[in-house]
Amino acid sequence: MKNMIAGAMTLGLATGLTAGAASAADDLTLQLKWVTQAQFAGYYVAKDKGFYDEEDLNVTIKAGGPDIAPEQVIAAGGADVITTWMAAALAARERGVDLVNIAQPFKTGGLQVNCLKSSGIETPADFPGHTMGVWFYGNEYPFYAWMASLGIKTDGASEDGVTVIKQAFSADPLIQGQADCISTMTYNEYRQILQAGITEDELVTFNYLKEGFGMLEDGLYVLGDKLEDPAFKDEMVRFVRASMKGWKYAEANPAEAAEIVLENDETGAQTLDHQEYMMTEVAKLTAGSNGALDPADYDQTVATLLKAVSPDNPAITKEPEGAYTLEITDAALK
C-alpha cells in the first residue's frame, strides 16, 4: 500500500512538473533604440499591465543609449527583437545584418528642423549661407536627401551651400547660438527650445514628412532567419499583439503611462512632467496604427534613403528585398 501511495505521489509530481513546463512563459528580450522614456511607453505598459503575461511571454526590456546600437546587439545574439528607425535597419541589412520589419507601431514620424526666424530663414530656399545642426548615426539621411533635392551643397565651402555641424541629442546648438537650425523631435528637443525661453513665434518649423522626405521611425525588427522557425514566429505574433495593446492603453491613458515609464527608469534622469509631455506627443505618432506596416510608407522611406547623398556613407545603394513581412501583424490582428 505504501509503495502504491509513493508511486502515486511520484506520478503526481511528474505530472505537475510536466504541466508546469508546458505552461512556462517564453522568454524574449527587447532591445530599445534609446534610453527609458515615453518613446517606448507601449512596451513598458504591456509589461506592467500584464499584457505580455496574458500571451505567455516573459519579456525583458533593455534600455538603449548613445553607445548602444540595437542592430549590433541583435546581430550578436543579445536580443530577440529590437526597436530602431528603418534607415538604420536598412543600412545594417545592406551591410549583412538580415533585419526584417515585423511591425510598425509608429505610423508617423516626429523628426523635424527648427530654425530661428531672426536668422532670416522663412523657407527652405533661405538655407544657403546658414549653419545647420544635424543628427548623425543614421538620422542624417532625410537631411541629405532633402538638401540634394533642393540642390543645396552641404560642404560649407560655397555661398549656395550650408555648413553642417554634428549635433548632439539636445537643442543646445540653437539655444546657445551655434546654429541657425537644428534637428529636433516633436516629443523631446522641441520642448527644450521652448523651455529655454524661445517662443513658437520665434521659430520656423519644417517637418520631414510634410516636405516629402520622411522615413519610418520606431519599428520592430528581428533577424530574418529566426522567422523560419514556426515557434519563434508564434512568439512574435503574441509579442506584437501584446505590445500594440500596450500602445493603445498608453494612448488612452497618457498620465498613467508616463508614471509607468518613470517607474522603469533606473537612472533617475527622467521627470514626470517631461514624460507626460512626451507621452502626449508620442501618442500622436502611434495614433491610427494597428501595428501593421503600410507599404506606401515603406516606399517613401526607401525613396528618401536612395536620394540621400551623405558625405560619410550612404544608407543604402539599392532597393532592399525582403526587408519587411506582414505575416506577423496579419496573424496578430486576427
Give the pLDDT band of residue 139 (cuts 50, 70, 90).
Answer: confident
Q: Can 26-107+216-332 and 111-211 be said to share one CATH topology?
A: yes
Extents of the domains making up the chain = 26-107+216-332, 111-211
Question: With contact defined as beta carbons under 8 Å apart, do 57 and 25 qualify?
Answer: yes
DSSP-derived letter for residue 308 is -
- Judge contact between 90 and 204, C-beta under 8 A: no
CA–CA gap between residue 208 and residue 140 (Å, rounded): 12
Residue entry with cell 524574449: 28
What would the mean pLDDT of 264-291 be, rounded to a whole number? 96
pTM, two decimals, is 0.89
Strands (E), the chain: 26-31, 57-62, 81-84, 99-103, 111-116, 131-134, 163-166, 181-185, 203-207, 219-223
pLDDT tens readout for residues 211-266? 988 899 999 999 999 999 999 999 999 999 999 999 999 999 999 999 999 999 99
Compute the average pLDDT of residues 309-327.
86
Architecture of the CATH domain 26-107+216-332: 3-Layer(aba) Sandwich (3.40)
Rounded distance, CA 198 to CA 115, Å?
11
CATH architecture of 111-211: 3-Layer(aba) Sandwich (3.40)
Q: Calculate the CA 106 to chain-centre distance.
A: 8
Say yes or no to pLDDT of 315 above 90.
no
